[in-house]
C-alpha cells in the first residue's frame, strides 16, 4: 500500500509499530502458555507416579507386570555394578 502510495510513510510506520506490539504480546502469551503446559505436564506426571506407587505399596507380591511398569531396564557393568533404569525419575539417584 505504501509502494502504491495509498498510505503515507507515517501511516506505514504507525502500522508497523502496531504489528510489532501485537507480535510482542503474542510472544509473551506463547511463553506463558508454554510454562502453564509444562506445569500441567509436571503435575500429571506426579499424579500418575503417585498412583503407581500407591498401587504398588498396597500389593503383597511383586509381579512381573508391576516390575515392568516401574523399571525400564537393569544394566550390569563389567565390574558387576548394577544400575536400575526406572520409568520415572529416581529421587535417590544423583542428577547429572
Asked if the structure places residue 94 within a domain, the reply is: no
Asked if the structure places residue 4 within a domain, the reply is: no
How many domains is the chain built from? 1
Residue span of the structural domain in which 22 resides: 9-86
Task: Name the grid cell of 32.
Answer: 506463558
User: pLDDT tens digit string along 14-53?
Assistant: 999 999 999 999 999 999 888 877 776 667 777 777 777 7
Cα distance between residue 38 and residue 32, in whole Å: 10
Report the sign of the C-alpha dihedral through residues 87, 89, 95, 96, in that order: positive
User: pLDDT tens digit string along 57-96?
Assistant: 666 677 787 778 778 888 988 888 888 887 766 554 554 4
Asked if the structure places residue 19 within a domain, the reply is: yes
Asked if the structure places residue 93 within a domain, the reply is: no
Asked if the structure places residue 20 within a domain, the reply is: yes
pTM of the model: 0.41
- DSSP 8-state symbol, 95: P
Asked if the structure places residue 96 within a domain, the reply is: no
Amino acid at each position: 500500500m505504501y509502494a502504491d502510495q495509498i498510505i503515507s510513510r507515517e501511516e506505514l510506520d504507525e502500522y508497523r509499530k502496531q504489528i510489532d506490539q501485537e507480535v510482542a504480546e503474542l510472544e509473551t502469551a506463547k511463553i506463558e502458555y508454554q510454562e502453564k503446559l509444562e506445569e500441567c505436564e509436571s503435575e500429571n506426571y506426579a499424579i500418575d507416579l503417585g498412583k503407581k506407587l500407591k498401587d504398588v505399596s498396597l500389593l503383597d507380591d511383586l509381579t512381573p507386570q508391576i516390575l515392568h511398569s516401574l523399571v525400564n531396564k537393569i544394566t550390569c557393568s563389567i565390574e558387576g555394578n548394577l544400575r536400575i533404569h526406572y520409568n520415572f525419575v529416581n529421587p535417590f539417584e544423583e542428577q547429572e
